[in-house]
Amino acid sequence: MVHGIGFRDLRYFNYWGRIPKLLCENGAIVYYGHQNAWGTIEENAEALRQKIEVVCKETGAPKVNIIAHSKGGLDSRYLINTLHMADRVASLTTINTPHYGSELIDVLNRLPDRVYRLIASWFDRSFVKFGDQKAGESCYHSSKQLSPAFCAFLT
């Protein structure tokens, strides 16, 4: 299960609702991506690649099924297509993924760059407290990747 931007796989916050429990009740083994909340698509896809290799080695499964929400879907598509992991992924289900980008990012891109960076730095400082390994300008860079222009590059 691959979360979206600005979230972490935290024990005390149930990001996925009842989905993991229902999957387990129906025989699935559920793993989480544990990628960074504000990591770039490239960084998060690499973290997912490493996680999948570990899961396949531990379980003996040749492939995994990915359920991804929001930007997690973009991370997963990059993983499959650019990092050539199609041989390890049986299926990708995306939920509310901005495959064509987010108009909100276009609005933010019209702000003066220093204002955009100030807003992003507030998010960075907040998420460092939740254990996000990325610091500095990670929200700024990862959110820029949600622009329609960047997402067009991914399709």
Instruction: Give the pLDDT confidence of 30-47 residue by residue, as tens digits.
Output: 999 988 878 899 999 999
Interhelix angle 41-59/71-81, nearest 10 degrees: 70
Residue-wise pLDDT tens digits, 97-127: 999 999 999 898 899 999 998 988 888 877 7
Identify the three-state secondary structure at position 85. coil
Domains: count for the chain? 1
Residue with tokens 């699935």: 28
Q: Identify whether 60 is part of a domain.
A: yes
In a domain, 104, yes or no: yes
Residue 101 lies in a domain: yes
For residue 66, is it within any domain? yes
Within-domain flag for 61: yes
Residue 1 covered by a domain: no
- Residue 54: inside a domain, yes or no? yes
Measure the CA–CA gap between 65 and 91, rounded to whole angstroms. Answer: 5
CATH label of the domain that carries residue 110: 3.40.50.1820
Of 96, 107, 100, 114, nearest to 146 by C-alpha is 100
- Domain residue limits at 137: 19-154
Report if residue 99 sits inside a domain: yes
* Range 136-142 contact pairs with CB under 8 angstroms and sequence separation of 24 or more: 138/36, 138/38, 138/39, 138/40, 139/6, 139/38, 140/116, 141/40, 142/5, 142/38, 142/39, 142/40, 142/41, 142/71
Write the pLDDT tens digit of every residue in 51-77: 999 999 999 999 999 999 999 999 999
- How far is the first Cα of the chain from the last one, in angstroms, to the nearest whole number? 22
